[in-house]
A = this chain, B = another copy of it.
Amino acid sequence: MTESLKVGVAGLGTVGASVVRIVKNKAKQLESRCGRPIEVVAVSARSRSKDRGVDLSSMEWFDDPVALAQAPGIDVFVELVGGDSGSAEDSVRAALNAGKHVVTANKALLAKHAVSLSRLAEEKGVSLNYEAAVAGGIPIVKTMRESLAGNSVSRVYGIMNGTCNYILTRMEREGLSFAECLADAQRLGYAEADPTFDIEGHDTAHKLSLLTSLAFGCEVDSDAIYVEGITSITTDDIRAADELGYRIKLLGVAQRTDTGVEQRVHPTMVPKHSAIARIDGVLNAVAVDADAVGEVVLVGPGAGGDATASSVISDIADIAREDGMPVFGQAATSLEPYTKARMRLHEGGYYIRLAVDDRPGAFATIAKHMAEKNISLQSIVQNRRDPALASDGAVDPDEPQPVILITHETTELAVREALELIAAEKVTFGAPQMLRIEKLD
């Protein structure tokens, strides 16, 4: 019999416990699929006594994940500790330095240290697999790293944060405010007590940074991503989007342009008929536009213990079969430095919501400044609030009414400049809302 692949798992939260349980329960199946047994022989976590619903008695216990990472008895180190530094980083570096293969679900760690870690893995001739780090159970890393080998990618985009998509879906379906939906998401365990990282788009940005490298053969540079969260989205925006034939989704988008690669995370207007518009609730989806295949879209659970464990185990199985892949699909030293396409050069349509003073000439003033910046308008609509709400006293009838502008394709810079000119005219109140419209077939 071929020798078993010996796995050490650091971090026994929901995902870690699922990995240990599934590797055990599916031992026969995994052996049959990989040609050799896989066993978890050692684990590490904070509390040794906690009941995780899995029998750890046959496994060696390490208090220190770094010690586990270097243990002579393991072939693969699975890092599920989390965090972009500290023991997650230390243990992954220790494992690679010790010539162990590494599997991780840690997007924050890779978003920050992918360049050095991928070079280290390559130097040591070991795998660094991270299917679970992007969109949980969806096999997007394998698809991009392997299935699209003959393709040139022009754009990759997706819904990669279930918390945000849950909130936006509920706002749309039930007409609730952002705050109400966030509170519900927290109550249901879909959002953290401190939800900043999710709702401000940073989690999506981490995942996007890895897809960018896979798509465009450049080094991971998550600091260069333009990031905007969903906290400014109002029910007015959701309703206007619906009326205009769009839905609002928090997308991460990486796109090749003439000046480099755009990386952006922001609430986005997507046409209702598009595949991505139809991804509801906590689901994730990633779409890839590429020259040979056209567009492929992968939909599935972006989180959850078993779903994420499914990806971790897929990564372990690849190692068991000795299917080695460079971390980002090509030699780490051959990845080009990331060339940023500046956000102000971004081209596309825009949705703009302004609170406009209802006096004569206000529309003309707005239209004039748009024209000055060569922005051609597809529509300009005074989207009067539901009078039923006004008569309920929920809306002050004297309050400025929202005016919605939809532009034809223009540049981010032109829109920003026009909005500054309009603000100086004092015909509007408060900050304008500006959402990008993604061009999708």
Q: Which residues of A contact B (CB under 8 A)?
A: 18, 22-23, 26, 29-30, 32-35, 131, 137-139, 142-143, 146-152, 217, 275, 278, 290-301, 304, 306-307, 309-311, 313-314, 317-318, 321, 323-326, 329-331, 334
B300-A294 in contact (CB<8A): yes
Q: Which residues of B contact A294 (CB under 8 A)?
A: 137, 300-301, 304, 306-307
Q: From the candidates B150, B217, B311, B334, name the one contacting A317 in the complex (CB within 8 A).
A: B150
- Chain B proximity of A39: nearest CB distance (Å): 13
Q: Looking at chain A's contact residues, is the secondary structure mostly helix, strand, loop, or mixed?
A: mixed
Residue of B nearest to A335 (CB): B32
Q: Are B146's CB and A314's CB within 8 A?
A: yes
From B142, B148, B301, A310 is in contact (CB under 8 Å) with B148
Determine if B296 and A137 form an interchain contact, defined as CB atoms under 8 angstroms apart. yes
> Across chains A and B, which 6 residue pairs bring their CB atoms closest together, nearest first?
A150-B313, A139-B147, A296-B300, A149-B317, A292-B310, A293-B310
Contact (Cβ within 8 A) B299 A30: no
Given known A-B contacts A150-B309, A275-B299, A18 and B292 have beta carbons under 8 A apart: yes
- Min CB distance, A300 to chain B, in Å? 4
Smallest Cβ-Cβ distance to A143: which chain B residue: B139
Are B275 and A292 in contact, CB atoms less than 8 angstroms apart? no
- List B contacts of A313 (CB < 8 A): 149-150, 292
Identify which of B295, B317, B321, B329 contacts A33 (C-beta below 8 A): B329
Q: How far does the Cβ of A282 sit from chain B's closest Cβ, in whole Å?
A: 11
Q: How far is the CB of A288 from chain B (nearest CB, A)?
A: 9
A23 interface neighbour in B22, B150, B296, B329, Cβ under 8 Å: B150
Q: For A26, A29, A150, A323, which residue has the most chain B Cβ atoms within 10 angstroms? A: A150
* Closest B residue, CB atoms, query A287: B299
Q: Bound complex: CA of A355 vs CA of B275, how far in Å?
A: 37
Q: Does the CB pair B137–A293 fall under 8 Å?
A: yes
Give A328 Cβ to nearest chain B Cβ, in Å: 10
Closest to A324 in B: B321
Cα distance A275–B331 in the bound complex, in angstroms: 37
Given known A-B contacts A30-B149, A325-B321, A290 and B278 have beta carbons under 8 A apart: no
> Given the interface contacts A150-B30, A298-B298, A330-B32, does A292 sit within 8 Å of B309 by beta carbon?
yes
Q: Which residues of B contact A148 (CB under 8 A)?
A: 310, 314
* Nearest CB in chain B: distance from A290 CB, A: 7
Chain B residue nearest to A279 in the complex (CB): B275
- Residues of B close to A34: CB separation below 8 A: 149
- A304: which B residues are within 8 A, CB to CB? 294
Give the nearest-CB partner of A278 in chain B: B278
Known A26-B152, A30-B150, A150-B26; contact A291-B314, beta-carbon cutoff 8 A: no
Residues of B within 8 A of A330 (CB): 32-33
Q: Which of B23, B33, B293, B314 contacts A306 (CB 8 A)?
A: B293
- Contact flag A292-B22 (CB < 8 Å), given A32-B331, A33-B329: yes
Considering only CB atoms, which chain B residue lies closest to A23 in the complex?
A: B150
A295: B residues at CB distance < 8 A: 300-301
CB nearest to A309 among chain B residues: B292
Question: Does the CB pair B296–A139 fall under 8 Å?
Answer: yes
Give CA–CA (A137, B297) in the complex, Å. Answer: 11
B150 touches A318 (CB 8 A): no
**A292 and B307 contacting across the interface, CB-CB below 8 Å:** yes
List chain B residues, Cβ under 8 A from A142.
139, 142-143, 146-147
Residues A300 and B293 in contact, CB atoms below 8 Å apart: yes
